[in-house]
Amino acid sequence: MYPTKELQSYVHYITNSTKSRNRDNISRTTAYFNYYLQFPEIKWSYLASLVSRNAGYNMTDLLLPPYRFILGDKERERLFMTYERANWLIFSDAYPQLLIYQLSKQLREPVFQLLKVFHVSDFMIKEWHYFWKFSDEDRLLRALIINEQNVIHGPVIEQSFFKKRVFHKLPYVLQNLLLMNAVLLPTKSTNLYGAYVQNFTSLTNRINLGKKLASILFTPSVYNETLAFAIDCEHTGSRYDYERYLDLSFQASPFLRMVYPIISHQDKIRTDWYKSGGVKKKWTKNVATPTKSDIGLTFYKKRQLLYAYYFIRSVFSRQEL
């Protein structure tokens, strides 16, 4: 399968490097960002680092009083596993691609045939070859967004456990209806850019969200602010990473590694989503950058309502005892 013993040794290195950096949300986020600093032409890696930060925020939110009060232990555990599984699965698919590109640059010739070893879709193999030839950074960015959302669609979104016990349950349905969840692009100021997550179970919606976030992120002013934050603020999984720059009275969520263990994942042989479904033309198109992408004010107004609901319910619960 491997053309040379030298390339075979690279396969072992990529396998081990991916596994060691896929331990938890902190290690994944750090790996994405460090890679981007080394290879800034791979824009997706920067976007992935910020989206991965948000996955960590969502995980530690589940330990805050309102979530502990409103959701049962099993519901919070299932939500955590949804975030963790998707985060792990995307990294296990994407990081070998990044390392194979790095190897190609070092060797000064493409070795994208190695992508087959890591069960990467035929779609992405074609896209990496195209990028090597034409250096179209935005096309590769869109391709990776399309690919990674397809990668998690079957094993997470459509998987019977998550489908029945997470996405069809009342907490998810209400969160979706009320637009309580958002992907934030933090800064070291009161500016919080990003977009709300709606109909997360829709593959097309998730792809559009990724493209929308990318269009916001790589707007020059937003890019400069978020990059300064990402460089100076180490990811802990707690919203305190950026909330320290805001005037808030909320309790900060805990540091991720203080509250969650390392999760062992089973990795089944993957089928190539591209062979069974292909790519819809609308997925490859650009999206317009939203005129209002600073969503911090509305996001925290919604969280104020959540805390208010929690305090009212907890008062009535104590009176009933």
User: What tens-digit pLDDT sequence spans the chain (321 residues)?
Assistant: 455 778 889 999 999 999 999 999 999 999 999 999 999 999 999 999 999 999 999 999 999 998 888 888 998 899 999 999 999 999 999 999 999 999 999 999 999 999 999 999 999 999 999 999 999 999 999 999 999 999 999 888 887 777 776 766 656 555 554 456 899 999 999 999 999 988 888 999 999 999 999 999 999 999 999 999 999 999 999 999 999 999 888 888 999 999 999 999 987 768 899 999 899 999 999 887 776 678 998 999 888 888 887 778 776 665 554
Is 190 a member of any domain?
yes
Residue 164 placed within a domain: yes
Helix (H) or strand (E) holding 257: helix 256-259
Give the number of domains in the chain.
1
In a domain, 99, yes or no: yes
pLDDT of residue 66: 87
Q: Locate tokens 């009083």: which residue?
A: 65
Could you tell me if 141 and 124 are in contact, meaning their C-beta atoms sit under 8 angstroms apart?
no
Question: What is the model's pLDDT at position 319?
Answer: 54
Q: How many Å apart are CA 249 and CA 279, to the nearest integer?
A: 46
- Quote the pLDDT of residue 72: 85
Residue 178 lies in a domain: yes
User: What are the tens digits of pLDDT across the range 16-30?
Assistant: 999 999 999 999 999
Q: Is residue 306 part of a domain?
A: yes
Residue 90 domain-assigned?
Answer: yes
144-190 residue pLDDT tens: 999 999 999 988 888 777 777 676 665 655 555 445 689 999 999 99
pTM above 0.95, yes or no: no
Residue in the block written with tokens 């591209």: 274
CB 27 within 8 A of CB 10: no
pLDDT of residue 267: 79
pLDDT value of position 41: 98
- pLDDT for 179 equals 56
94: number of CA atoms within 13 Å, CB side? 34
Token reading at 34: 């460090």
* Number of other residues whose CB lies within 10 A of the CB of residue 22: 20
Does a structural domain hold residue 203?
yes
298 occurs within a structural domain: yes
CA distances from 210 to 12, 140, 184, 185 (A): 31, 13, 12, 12
Structural domain containing residue 172: 5-250+275-320
Q: Whole-angstrom Cα distance, residue 15 to residue 163? A: 30
- What's the pLDDT at 158? 84
Parallel, antiparallel, or unpaired: how do β-strands 182-185 and 193-196 relate?
antiparallel
Give me the amino acid identity at 102.
Q
Q: Is 100 in contact with 280 (CB distance < 8 Å)? A: no
Question: Buried b vs exposed e over 246-274: b needs ≥16 C-beta within 10 Å?
Answer: eeeebeebbbbbeebeeeeeeeeebebbb
